Chain A
C-alpha cells in the first residue's frame, strides 16, 4: 500500500526549532511533487509548502516564508520541513501530502500527521 509516515512532532517552546520528516513507501517518490499541509486544533486546512519532484522548485505560503524550509532526499524517499522561530500559533497537526500527477493539482495521498505543540 502506498504510504506516507510523518515523524518529528512534539512540544517545543516559543522561538524554538523543529524538523519534521515524512517517509514515503511503495511508490516512486522521486516522480512526485510533495507538500506540507497543517491543521490547527479544531480549524481548517492550511497549505504550508511544496517542493517539485527533483527539489528544484519550492514554494511557501506567504505567511510562513522565512521561518520554514522544505527539502527532500529522493535517495532516502524522504520529505522534510525545518521550522524555526516557532510561535504559539504554529501549533497544529502537520501532514505531508503527495501531489497527484499534473494536471490534477490535488493531493491524492496523505500521511496520518504529526502534532506540533508550541507552548511555554
Chain B
C-alpha cells in the first residue's frame, strides 16, 4: 500500500511570501501519477498540477510543481489571498488513487 505524507501540516505565511509544500511517497512512483489540489473552505478541490510539474488549465504561473521518485514539491511563488487554503497531493498506483493528508496554508 502506497502512503503519502505531506509536510508541514500547517504553514503560516503572509501574502506575497513564497510557500513550499512537500509530498513524500512511501515508494518510488512515476512522476506522471502525481497531482496537487487546492481546496478552499466549503468548496470542492481544484486541480493545480498534474504529472508532478504540469499546470492544469487556468492555473496561474505562480504555482509550480517539481520532484521525482519519492519526493515532490509544490511551490507558490507569491501567495495571493485566495491561496490560503488546504493543499492535497494525490498519487495513482496500480488501480487506485491515494491522497495525502493535506497541508493547510494560513495567514500569519
Residue of A nearest to B50 (CB): A106
Q: Are A105 and B101 in contact (CB under 8 A)?
A: no
A106→B37 CA distance, assembly (Å): 9
Q: Are B95 and A103 in contact (CB under 8 A)?
A: no
Q: Are A45 and B88 in contact (CB under 8 A)?
A: yes
| Number of inter-chain CB pairs below 8 Å | 67
What's the tally of chain A residues with a CB closer than 8 Å to chain B? 22
Residue of B nearest to A93 (CB): B44
Bin the interface of chain B by size: 20 to 34
CB distance from B11 to the nearest CB of A (A): 16
CB-CB contacts below 8 Å: B3-42 with A: 32-33, 35, 37, 39
Q: Which listed residue (B56, B95, B102) contacts A44, Cβ 8 A?
A: B102
Question: B92: CB under 8 A from chain A?
Answer: yes
Q: Are A103 and B32 in contact (CB under 8 A)?
A: yes
CB distance from A73 to the nearest CB of B (A): 23
Q: Are B33 and A105 in contact (CB under 8 A)?
A: yes
CB-CB contacts below 8 Å: A74-106 with B: 95, 100, 103-106
A37→B88 CA distance, assembly (Å): 13
Residues of B within 8 A of A (CB): 32-33, 35, 37, 39, 43-47, 50-51, 54, 56-57, 88, 90, 92, 95-102
Which 10 pairs across A and B sit closest by C-beta, in order of nearness?
A106-B35, A105-B92, A106-B50, A110-B44, A47-B97, A45-B99, A59-B95, A104-B50, A105-B33, A103-B32
Residues of A within 8 A of B (CB): 35, 37, 44-47, 50, 59, 61-62, 95, 100, 103-108, 110-113
